[in-house]
């Protein structure tokens, strides 16, 4: 199945997970033997696989995505970014994704290289995600299109001047051929609901899937939110500050927060939730068992 098919006449929310490729062979074995079997118990609709900065671990992205599809029987998606890739490189990656029988791509610009404040397009590459998406659409077979997911930012992309400008950037991605929108992580559901209202007012009708990252460490999530521009509500921040050196306590706080967020999102009609699981599964057991799925 392709992304849009999950959201057509669906009578249940679409639930998905996101993994990242490990850097070691031990990590790959852990994914195959422990992580994926445990995540599979929750019967996600699909699982997406990222890759590292500047295309590092990209070959493992395809390996894991193929493993998910062939060994575990779930639909999957490979992330694809503009970073460090010429059009020829991108064509080669797309060809390998298609040959592996994978029907979906998460199309992103990607982050600037570490140590750089600005994104510079590769030679003969793309500077923006909408250009990448347009290229995918222009080169794919008409009778077998990919499902394409794009990123949305409820609190705006950290490089955007304001949210309205960022939503116009989002519209360009959808107009270029994006099928669904998956949001950046957020911890205040009102930011998501307000974002959806603004997206619809801008004439964008694609499903807006809520992206949730369960908190497993206070220090880690403070670092992540500072990098991506997401905010932590004051009441949650106070709890995390009290667990700054206690990851077990922070995990309990994070599980409770994620369950509360997910239940409200589903209750108020979010079409789906995409969990950034951070390559761990124990916390997802408690979260998934608490949702009305």
10 Å CB burial of residue 245 (0-12, 13-18, 19+) is exposed
Return the DSSP state at 13: -
Return the DSSP state at 160: S
Question: Taking residues 131-137, what's their average pLDDT?
Answer: 97
Cβ neighbours of 52 (radius 10 Å): 14
* Residue 201's pLDDT band (cuts 50, 70, 90): very high
What pLDDT digit, counting tens, does each position of 60-78 carry? 999 999 999 999 999 999 9
Return the pLDDT at 121.
74
Which domains does the chain show, CATH number per domain? 3-214+270-289 (3.20.20.220)
Return the pLDDT at 95.
96
Return the pLDDT at 262.
98
Decide if 126 contacts 138 (C-beta within 8 A): no
Return the pLDDT at 123.
84
Cβ neighbours of 69 (radius 10 Å): 19
Mean predicted lDDT score pLDDT of the chain: 94
> b/e map of 184-220 (b: 16 or more CB within 10 Å)?
bbbbbbebbbebbebbeeeebebbbbbbbbbbbbbee
* CA distances (Å), origin 217, targets 34, 210, 214, 221, 247: 21, 21, 9, 6, 5
**Both tokens assigned to 6:** 């999950």
Q: Which residues are annotated as catalytic?
A: 18
DSSP β-bridge partners for residue 210: 273
Return the pLDDT at 53.
57
Return the pLDDT at 280.
96
- Dihedral of CA atoms 36, 42, 45, 50 in degrees, nearest 10, equals -40
What pLDDT digit, counting tens, does each position of 84-132 carry? 889 999 999 999 999 999 999 999 998 766 666 677 777 888 989 999 9
DSSP β-bridge partners for residue 276: 18
> b/e map of 71-105 (b: 16 or more CB within 10 Å)?
eeebbbbbbbbbbebebeebeebbeebeebebbbb
DSSP β-bridge partners for residue 147: 104
DSSP secondary structure letters along 181-235: EEEPP-S-HHHHHHHHHHHHHTT--S-EEEEE---S-HHHHHHHHHHHT----HH
The answer, as to whether pTM is greater than 0.85, is yes
Q: Which of 228, 153, 157 has its CA nearest to residue 198?
A: 153
What pLDDT digit, counting tens, does each position of 47-57 carry? 999 986 555 56
What pLDDT digit, counting tens, does each position of 150-192 carry? 999 999 999 999 999 999 999 999 999 999 999 999 999 999 9
Decide if 2 contacts 33 (C-beta within 8 A): no
């Amino acid at each position: 199945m392709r992304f849009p098919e999950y959201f057509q006449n669906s009578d249940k929310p679409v639930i998905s997970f996101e993994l990242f490729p490990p850097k070691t062979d031990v990590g790959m074995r852990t994914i195959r033997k422990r992580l994926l079997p445990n995540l599979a118990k929750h019967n996600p609709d699909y699982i997406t696989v990222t890759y590292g900065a500047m295309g590092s671990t990209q070959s493992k992205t395809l390996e894991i995505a193929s493993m998910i599809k062939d060994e575990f029987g779930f639909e999957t998606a490979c992330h694809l970014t503009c970073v460090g890739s010429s059009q020829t490189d991108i064509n080669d990656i797309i060809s390998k994704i298609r040959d592996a029988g994978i029907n979906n791509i998460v199309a992103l610009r990607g982050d600037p290289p570490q140590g750089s404040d600005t994104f510079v397009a590769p030679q003969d590459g793309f500077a923006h995600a909408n250009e990448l998406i347009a290229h995918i659409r222009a080169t794919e077979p008409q009778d077998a299109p990919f499902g394409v997911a794009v990123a949305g930012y409820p609190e705006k992309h950290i490089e955007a001047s304001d949210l309205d400008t960022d939503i116009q950037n989002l519209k360009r991605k959808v107009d270029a051929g994006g099928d669904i929108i998956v949001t950046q992580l957020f911890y205040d559901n009102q930011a998501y609901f307000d974002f959806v209202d603004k997206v619809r007012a801008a004439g964008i009708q694609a499903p807006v899937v809520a992206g949730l990252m369960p908190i497993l460490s206070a220090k880690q999530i403070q670092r992540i939110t500072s990098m991506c521009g997401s905010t932590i509500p004051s009441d949650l921040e106070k709890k995390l500050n009290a667990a700054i050196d206690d990851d077990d306590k922070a995990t309990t706080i994070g599980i409770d927060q994620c369950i509360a967020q997910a239940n409200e999102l589903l209750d108020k009609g979010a079409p789906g939730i995409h969990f950034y699981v951070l390559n761990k599964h124990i916390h997802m057991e408690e979260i998934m068992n608490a949702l009305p799925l």
